[in-house]
Amino acid sequence: MIDFEIGRIGTVSTNRIKFRSRGLRVDLPGECFQRSFLSFTSDAESFAMGLSDVLYRKFAYRYLSYLQEIARSSEPAKPSSIHGLPACRLICNEMERLFRAHFFQPIAAVAG
């Protein structure tokens, strides 16, 4: 389930995009979304290209597509890992860390 909200929050005069999906949250000023999306995609692609194993690289790109859809506020099916390999969990963790770094900018972090 996705909770989605665009609007004014508190005393901040900018529109913010806020929603939550499957434990991932997007909270940033509306005017920053496109830049954050492109920056996230670039960093995630760089991470994926750095993987030496072709299967892991393909999985990383599938997971990137999944996270991009979440950022666009849709509810895609989560890609399954390759035979439950621990490396896939590590790939997911790193991609989600990148997602949070680019899309979660609460008001306190932006204002301060």
Give the tens place of pLDDT for each residue, 42-75.
999 999 999 999 999 999 999 999 999 888 877 7
Q: Does the predicted model carry a pTM greater than 0.85?
A: no
Distance, CA of 8 to CA of 77 (rounded, Å) = 31
Q: Return the percentage of the chain with pLDDT > 70, whole number.
A: 73
Q: CA distances (Å), 56 to each of 46, 60, 83, 93, 99, in order? A: 13, 6, 11, 13, 18
Full domain range(s) for residue 89: 2-111
What is residue 84's predicted lDDT score, i.e. its pLDDT? Answer: 73
pLDDT band at 107 (very low <50, low <70, confident <90, very high): low
The number of folded domains in the chain is: 1
